[in-house]
Amino acid sequence: MLTVDFTRFPLAAGDRVLDLGCGAGRHAFECYRRGARVVALDQNAEEIREVAKWFAAMKEAGEAPAGATATAMEGDALNLPFPDESFDVVIISEVMEHIPDDKGVLAEMVRVLKPGGRIAVTVPRYGPEKICWALSDAYHEVEGGHIRIYKADELLAKMRESGLKPYGTHHAHGLHSPYWWLKCAFGVDNDKALPVRAYHKLLVWDIMKKPLATKVAEQALNPLIGKSFVAYATKPHLPAATATDPAADTKAGA
């Protein structure tokens, strides 16, 4: 289940991609299938081991084209172990709402992104997330849980402040908001409640079978109750005047 829409976020074979806070690796796997050179990074060692196993299985099964590479590694989002301008693409999906220093994370992503590179940021959407918080303290008051709810304008402003230029937004996973409302209402750890079990079966059926009916329903629901807000941006090239140019310096001092 992808949150990033790759029809709006073009990815070319050979692009160097960082999936920051990759979790179980869903976006990293898709980038690998598309021929990218992928680095999946997360602070959770157990998840990174699983992602590495899946990368190896995908390679063995021939799911990735020639030239594609994939690496899974532990790392700190606030201190990325990469040189400046290392990546063509950065994806950070459902991560920033967990991190106190979100401006620091944005700064690190901008640092490792090449000028002209693209970034995709996804976070829980304000309205559906507010309902979850109202229904259950346990939903967010846990170690490593959500510490903030972003309004769309707030996130876009922080992206601009970091030096990025947003170019598109949308909402995703409209079918999933009611599921989380049910989870919060019946207990986030209570998977036995009948409404929760029934709705979970619907979501699994949708993911596995991809029927037209649920596709149309989700497209209709996304603008209204989409669970995630997705923003796309580029890192602008530096203006020519800022480049190191002795002639420009001479003219400036004339």
Over range 213-235, report the average pLDDT. 97
pLDDT value at residue 253:
39
Tell me the pLDDT of the chain averaged across its residues.
Answer: 93
Rounded to two decimals, what is the model's pTM?
0.91
Identify which has the larger pLDDT, 141 or 220.
220
Asked whether residue 224 carries a pLDDT value surpassing 80, the answer given is yes
pLDDT value at residue 144:
81
Residue 11 and residue 27: Cα distance in Å, rounded?
12
CA-to-CA separations, 130 to 140, 146, 171, 181, in angstroms, rounded: 11, 11, 16, 10
pLDDT value at residue 250:
39
Q: Token digits for 161?
A: 């402040």
pLDDT value at residue 141:
86
Q: What is the pLDDT of residues 136-178, one digit of tens each?
A: 999 998 888 899 999 999 999 999 999 999 999 999 999 999 9
Asked whether residue 131 carries a pLDDT value surpassing 50, the answer given is yes
Residue 131 backbone phi and psi in degrees, to 5: -65, -45
pLDDT value at residue 252:
38
Contacts of residue 110, Cβ cutoff 8 Å, sequence gap at least 6: 119, 162, 163, 164, 235
Percentage of the chain with pLDDT > 90?
89
Identify which has the larger pLDDT, 129 or 245.
129
Position 248 confidence tier, pLDDT thresholds 50, 70, 90: very low
Cα angle for residues 230, 231, 237 (degrees, 5° grid) = 155
Residue 232 and residue 2: Cα distance in Å, rounded?
15
Task: Write down all domains in the chain, each with its CATH number in brackets.
Answer: 76-235 (3.40.50.150)
Q: What is the pLDDT of residues 78-119, one digit of tens each?
A: 999 999 999 999 999 999 999 999 999 999 999 999 999 999
26-33 and 45-61 helices, crossing angle to 10°: 30
